[in-house]
Structure 1
Amino acid sequence: MREVNEFLTLIDSFIGSAWWFPYALLGTGLFFTLYLKFPQIRFFRHAVRIVTGKYDRKDLPGDTSHFQALATALSGTVGTGNIAGVAFAVHLGGPAALFWMLVTAALGMCTKFVEVSLSHKYRTKLPDGTMAGGPMYYMKNAEFKFRGKKVSLKWLAAIFAFATVLSSFGTGSLPQINSISSTLLATFGIDQVITGAVLAVFLGLVIIGGIKRIAAVTSKLVPGMAIIYFIGAFAVIFFNYENIVPSLAAIFGDIFSGTAATGGFIGANLAFAFNRGVNRGLFSNEAGQGSAPIAHASAKANEPLSEGMVAILEPFIDTIIICTVTGLVLLSSGVWAEKHQNQFEYAEIEILADQYKETVPEHKDKIYRHLNEIEALPTFSGELRVENGKIVNDDITFIHARSFADNITVFKNEGLLDEEVFSGVIKIQNGDVVDERPLKFIGESLVHSAPLTALAFNRGFFGDYGQYIVSIGLLLFAFSTAISWSYYGDRAMTYLFGPRSVIYYRIVYVVAFFFAAFQDTTIIWTLSAITIALMTLPNLIGIIWLRRDMKKTIREYGDFFEENFPGSKHPKFK
């Protein structure tokens, strides 16, 4: 499994984890922020008025209300990124990574405003009467000009649509069910296969109904799950009130230096915190990825900019509010830097070819440089000797989840802790466990993703019951995300292969959803990062190409609003 993860990581290193990707994402958001004169600030109050229905009319074309479109889009973004993604970012880059998630959201508010407005402007009515839109449609239908000549971007639209199909699995299906099943296993002991089977059936029943049923379900799930999650989160933050100020100081104090080692956390430099924060920020709010425009294209509205206004609220709610709350839960509780008893993921095990001690500053510095990809250390190849479950080699260092692993016990088979301990030798090659026997490593190390957030929720007024709030919240968050992404995928399939292809796509989507429930978490997240980047890049090219079209659309909306709502308070659109 580690070899698979390393192959995927290699691919990701050229796109999503490449040094230039965060700059491309943030640079696009910064460009439009300046080019359109800070629309995320100027139009914020107007966006709230639109989503509350102040300017709604029943006779407008479309399938859903502004609020339902917002709820559907939010259900596609508010998911594991807010619970597992924040924990993963802090695990990789420390508290400073959360700051870069917030920066991504602030600029992403403008990016999403642009992409949703353009998607709504160039949406298409399908033969069945439903609306279809998204970046593939504005790439196809908009008039592009290059050096005075008309240029077609249909090829880019096809690339984006294909990437959307891949990302519907990488973003919406696989990581969602994997996080749900992992959390339910840790909290309630429910077998991951059972979780995957039951939820796959429910998923199939919902997505067969199309966008109207999806919108009806998500518009009820989103508010409910937000209330449950906030109650549990603030129960932790207020319980640890003395750590609120230090937590905020950690987020903003290490912005340009990275986060120093503390507890079991080895430390992260600026580059690592920046890259991981931006990537997790994108996974959280999807601004620039081009997914939300597909949901918003179904909203009832004559003017495309009105739906773009609604989209401004998404990154604000999703990342600036919810992810900040999750971050404060993790930091104020202190669990992010502590080692916890857990079952080791094979993909996160690395065995080094020398003995390094966590208590020796020089050794710790070498591990820091190794984990932050500054200077690699030699890995171990040979036999790991185990007696009664305990590793007896004295010439190795066992690393798991970017931390020194302690008190390791090796068990036979795939059972629980009370099963028979293992004795014998285990084959290790280049730091990886390559032995084909079913073995299980249990020990103490840092943890990340949803299990880390569940541990943090236990440090509040609800005590050990806090983990149940995370489990229920994650179930609702992640399941609604999987529902919404199935819609994004079937719109892309409709664009590429026609409406008849959708039924086959939905079958594959549900089957993949089931199998991902019991796969390696690290591999799922790496695959997710690849598909997100593949979808984001063509979308950024498309919206930059249409920058003048966007500015013209704002002027047209100003004329429309003044004509239809004279005397109403509104921002300056020109």
Structure 2
Amino acid sequence: METIMNINDLVNGIVWGPPILILIVGVGLYLSFRTGFFSITKLGYILKNTLLKMFTKEQKGEGEVTAFQAVATALAATVGTGNIAGVATAIAAGGPGAVFWMWVAAVLGMTTKFAEVVLAVNYREKTEDGRFVGGPMYYIKKGLGWNWLAVLFALFGALAAFGIGNMVQSNSVAAALQSSFNLNPWITGVVLAVITAMVIIGGIKRIGAFTEKLVPFMAAIYIIGGLIIIIANISKVPAAFALIFSSAFTGKAAVGGFAGATIAKAIRFGVARGVFTNEAGLGSAPIAHAAATTDHPVRQGLWGVFEVFADTLVICSITALAIITSGAWESGLTGAALTTAAFNQSIPGGGYIVSIGIVLFAFSTIVGWEYYGERCLEYLLGPKSIMIYRIIWIPFVLVGAIGGLEFVWSLADTLNGLMAIPNLIAVLVLSGTVFKLTKEFFEKEKVGK
């Protein structure tokens, strides 16, 4: 077992090392240049057709759930503990400059996620029972004709979900509730498993109906709490931005408990956190978007841009500014403890907001990633495997809550990273299709440059 763990650690270091991160950023940069950085130049149009149409029920085209239910499911899986603990870890390890590089990764990631969603909708399939299925495995098979690569992606996704999307999340919920309310992890695990079962057994329609209510609620609670801290320290905001930008290019260390950060560390941890939180390039979110009701792949692709915008440029930025303006980032703490310290310093009982945020963010990830996992298994073994996957998924929620199977977590992290390789190959090779559909859509919509 020790040998296997050592091999996994070695592979994990390669998978999540600089080469893969450079590949992810490189693909995002290429797509952004070829589309004229439309995710920025047309951001007003994008937000008008996503943020301002969140709860619109009128939909054109075919699909299984509304456009917002699809993005809510994707956001449920994407917005997780990384938005709270991960950002704090990046700042602690890479300094305030890491935030700038996190933003860079997000801007490029918006176009990558857009391309993934466009391909997912363009190559999706309608099953005999009327369901819409899609994602990297389908556009790899239909677009490239490389079914062996599609199988690899599906295999990585079905297995990785148990760690990244299940046990790691339930463990975070149990730890947060035990720390703040002294609740026994066993109780947390059982309750969490029961609620998870009630949601996922109903499939994408129930998951979509659930997440479209949960995601805005959980985001609002955390965003409002973070904004209160930022407003309380409003005089320090300009200095915080100045520190973020200057540290991004100088690696300047702060005075105090912080040991110092180089430019390389700022870039490494900032880019990595940006990729980890919004999952652009991993190929997970397109699986949910493929079920959306839409009349054109690009129209749903706009929701992919919004997804990264909301996850990283809004939620992660609020966490970062709260940590920096409060001065807590120099405390020597890291992870959720650092974010908790920042909230506690500015709001009496602010740590409870962090705990509640972790609980809601982590639970939503459990629900969203279950859907990803079952779709991957369905691709491998057919529709009959879906219910089997759901039944197996539920007890692992409890296992994660009470701790244990750390090796499974580590292995799943490696598999999660391996998902990106076949997906990025497909996105890059099929980018011509994305460019063609994008040009066609914006010419038809007569959107100004």
TM-score category by the smaller chain?
A: over 0.9
Deviations 1:95-122 (A, max 9, x none): 2222221111000011011110011000
Q: How many positions carry a matched residue from both structures?
A: 447
**CA distance 1:31–1:210, change in 2 (3 Å):** same
Structure with the greater relative contact order (CA < 8 A, sep ≥ 6): 1 or 2?
A: 2
Aligned counterpart, 1:29: 28
8 A Cα contact 2:159 2:412, kept in partner: no
8 A Cα contact 1:93 1:259, kept in partner: no
In structure 1, C-alpha distance between the alignment counterparts of 2:91 and 2:310, rounded to whole Å: 20
Q: What amino acid is aligned across from residue 509 of structure 1 in structure 2?
A: W
**CA distance 1:259–1:325, change in 2 (3 Å):** same
Aligned counterpart, 1:79: 80
In structure 2, C-alpha distance between the alignment counterparts of 1:550 and 1:571, rounded to whole Å: 19
Spell out the pairing of 1:300-339 with structure 2 (5 A cutoff).
300-339=293-332
User: Is 1:256 the counterpart of 2:243 in the alignment?
Assistant: no
User: Is 1:542 the counterpart of 2:419 in the alignment?
Assistant: no
| Structure 1 residue 301: Cα displacement | 1.1
8 A Cα contact 2:135 2:284, kept in partner: yes
Spell out the pairing of 1:21-60 with structure 2 (5 A cutoff).
21-51=20-50, 52-53=52-53, 57-58=58-59, 60=61
Q: What amino acid is aligned across from residue 25 of structure 2 in structure 1?
A: L
8 A Cα contact 2:160 2:413, kept in partner: no
User: Is 1:518 the counterpart of 2:402 in the alignment?
Assistant: yes
| Structure 1 residue 37: Cα displacement | 1.5
Q: What amino acid is aligned across from residue 49 of structure 1 in structure 2?
A: K
| Structure 1 residue 4: Cα displacement | 8.8
Q: What amino acid is aligned across from residue 480 of structure 1 in structure 2?
A: S
Q: What amino acid is aligned across from residue 127 of structure 1 in structure 2?
A: E
Aligned counterpart, 1:357: none
Q: CA RMSD in A?
A: 2.5
In structure 2, C-alpha distance between the alignment counterparts of 1:277 and 1:533, rounded to whole Å: 17
Q: What amino acid is aligned across from residue 417 of structure 2 in structure 1?
A: A
More helix by share: 2
User: Is 1:456 the counterpart of 2:360 in the alignment?
Assistant: no
8 A Cα contact 2:60 2:295, kept in partner: no
**CA distance 1:556–1:235, change in 2 (3 Å):** closer
TM-score, length basis structure 1: 0.73
8 A Cα contact 2:59 2:294, kept in partner: no
8 A Cα contact 2:92 2:329, kept in partner: yes
Q: What amino acid is aligned across from residue 453 of structure 1 in structure 2?
A: T
User: Is 1:137 the counterpart of 2:138 in the alignment?
Assistant: yes
**CA distance 1:279–1:9, change in 2 (3 Å):** farther
User: Is 1:94 the counterpart of 2:87 in the alignment?
Assistant: no
- The structure 2 residue matched to 1:218, chosen from 206, 211, 216, is 211
**CA distance 1:203–1:534, change in 2 (3 Å):** same
8 A Cα contact 1:170 1:531, kept in partner: no
Aligned counterpart, 2:124: 123
Give the share of equivalent positions with the same residue, in percent.
43
Aligned counterpart, 2:228: 235
| Structure 1 residue 203: Cα displacement | 0.7
| Structure 1 residue 228: Cα displacement | 1.0
| Structure 1 residue 88: Cα displacement | 1.9
Structure 1, unpaired ranges of 5+: 145-151, 340-445, 563-568
| Structure 1 residue 558: Cα displacement | 4.2
8 A Cα contact 1:42 1:571, kept in partner: no
Deviations 1:146-167 (A, max 9, x none): xxxxxx2111111111111133
In structure 1, C-alpha distance between the alignment counterparts of 2:374 and 2:46, rounded to whole Å: 28
More strand by share: 1
Other structure's SS at 2:448 match: coil
**CA distance 1:95–1:527, change in 2 (3 Å):** farther
8 A Cα contact 1:184 1:471, kept in partner: yes
In structure 1, C-alpha distance between the alignment counterparts of 2:442 and 2:265, rounded to whole Å: 43
| Structure 1 residue 249: Cα displacement | 2.5
| Structure 1 residue 138: Cα displacement | 0.7
8 A Cα contact 1:53 1:66, kept in partner: no
8 A Cα contact 1:179 1:450, kept in partner: no
| Structure 1 residue 513: Cα displacement | 2.0
| Structure 1 residue 523: Cα displacement | 7.0
| Structure 1 residue 175: Cα displacement | 2.4
| Structure 1 residue 552: Cα displacement | 1.7
Q: What amino acid is aligned across from residue 400 of structure 2 in structure 1?
A: A
**CA distance 1:72–1:548, change in 2 (3 Å):** same
Deviations 1:466-486 (A, max 9, x none): 111111122112111111111
User: Is 1:204 the counterpart of 2:174 in the alignment?
Assistant: no
- The structure 1 residue matched to 2:390, chosen from 485, 506, 524, is 506
In structure 2, C-alpha distance between the alignment counterparts of 1:90 and 1:522, rounded to whole Å: 25
Aligned counterpart, 2:447: 570
Deviations 1:401-430 (A, max 9, x none): xxxxxxxxxxxxxxxxxxxxxxxxxxxxxx
Q: What amino acid is aligned across from residue 454 of structure 1 in structure 2?
A: T
Deviations 1:21-72 (A, max 9, x none): 2211110000011112112124323323333449975462111112222222
In structure 1, C-alpha distance between the alignment counterparts of 2:146 and 2:20, rounded to whole Å: 22
Q: What amino acid is aligned across from residue 380 of structure 2 in structure 1?
A: L
Aligned counterpart, 1:64: 65
Other structure's SS at 1:458 match: helix
In structure 2, C-alpha distance between the alignment counterparts of 1:6 and 1:260, rounded to whole Å: 34
